[in-house]
């Protein structure tokens, strides 16, 4: 389906699971500053590094980019990278439609599912002026990074909702693959997600409206 749908699409669910970077928050400039500096230090191409890190936890990205390096080194360096990213929130802003979407979800089953740790998630959501959902699955809560479905399955479990009744909002290939692997439908944010296999693709969150009924069913309306 194209980035801007030709007709209104309606999906129903019992819960929504929301990625953060690139989905709710535009943190691109901050991510680029930190990871290009890391790439230069490692003698790696910055563009290649940015392609790999999107949607993944840092240690998993490092394992792809530096396959011969011990994982304990990756985990240690990932902690340093998270601290640098947490301290750098310049230019972090909400994705279009994110404030209204989160406001509409007040009191409804939803969760944040992000590869960031808790400190980074709160720093970026705060910088963008967005509330952190009551249920938040961050890096501390999982042992495997996206594209593994662990984070989304945990989000569904914490909400008490069957994974098949959840809709994921994602922008990255790793995240889209994780949502689909969890047996969930995926609303892709950004035109690239069409190629990743997203169920429906939108330009941004201004195309999304969420309502509910007395039975607790969420209706997600996607407009052109």
- Catalytic residues, by residue number, are 19, 21
CB 207 within 8 A of CB 100: no
Interior CA angle at 175 toward 170 and 151, to 5°?
A: 105
Residue 18, SS3 per DSSP: strand
Name, in order, each residue with C-beta under 8 angstroms of 112's C-beta and a sequence gap of 6 or more. Answer: 18, 19, 20, 24, 121, 125, 132, 133, 135, 136, 137, 138
Distances (CA, A) of 42 to 14, 31, 35: 45, 16, 10
Q: Shortest CA distance to 15 belongs to which of 157, 172, 151?
A: 157
């Amino acid at each position: 389906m194209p980035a801007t749908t030709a007709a209104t699409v309606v999906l129903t669910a019992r819960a929504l699971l929301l990625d953060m970077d690139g989905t709710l928050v535009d943190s691109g400039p901050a991510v680029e500053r930190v990871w290009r500096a890391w790439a230069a230090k490692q003698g790696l191409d910055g563009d290649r590094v940015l392609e790999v890190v999107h949607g993944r936890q840092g240690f998993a990205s490092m394992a792809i980019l530096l396959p011969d390096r011990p994982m304990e080194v990756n985990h240690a360096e990932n902690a340093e990278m998270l601290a640098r990213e947490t301290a750098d929130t310049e230019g972090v802003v909400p994705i279009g439609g994110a404030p209204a979407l989160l406001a509409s979800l007040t009191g409804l089953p939803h969760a944040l599912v992000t590869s960031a740790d808790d400190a980074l998630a709160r720093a970026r959501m705060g910088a963008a002026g967005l509330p952190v959902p009551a249920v938040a699955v961050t890096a501390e809560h999982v042992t495997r990074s996206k594209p593994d479905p662990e984070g989304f399955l945990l989000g569904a479990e914490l909400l008490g909702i069957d994974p098949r009744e959840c809709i994921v909002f994602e922008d990255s290939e790793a995240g889209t693959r994780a949502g689909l692997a969890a047996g969930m439908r995926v609303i892709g944010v950004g035109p690239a997600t069409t190629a990743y296999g997203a169920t429906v693709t939108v330009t941004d969150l201004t195309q999304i409206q969420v309502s509910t009924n007395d039975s607790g069913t969420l209706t997600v309306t996607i407009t052109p």
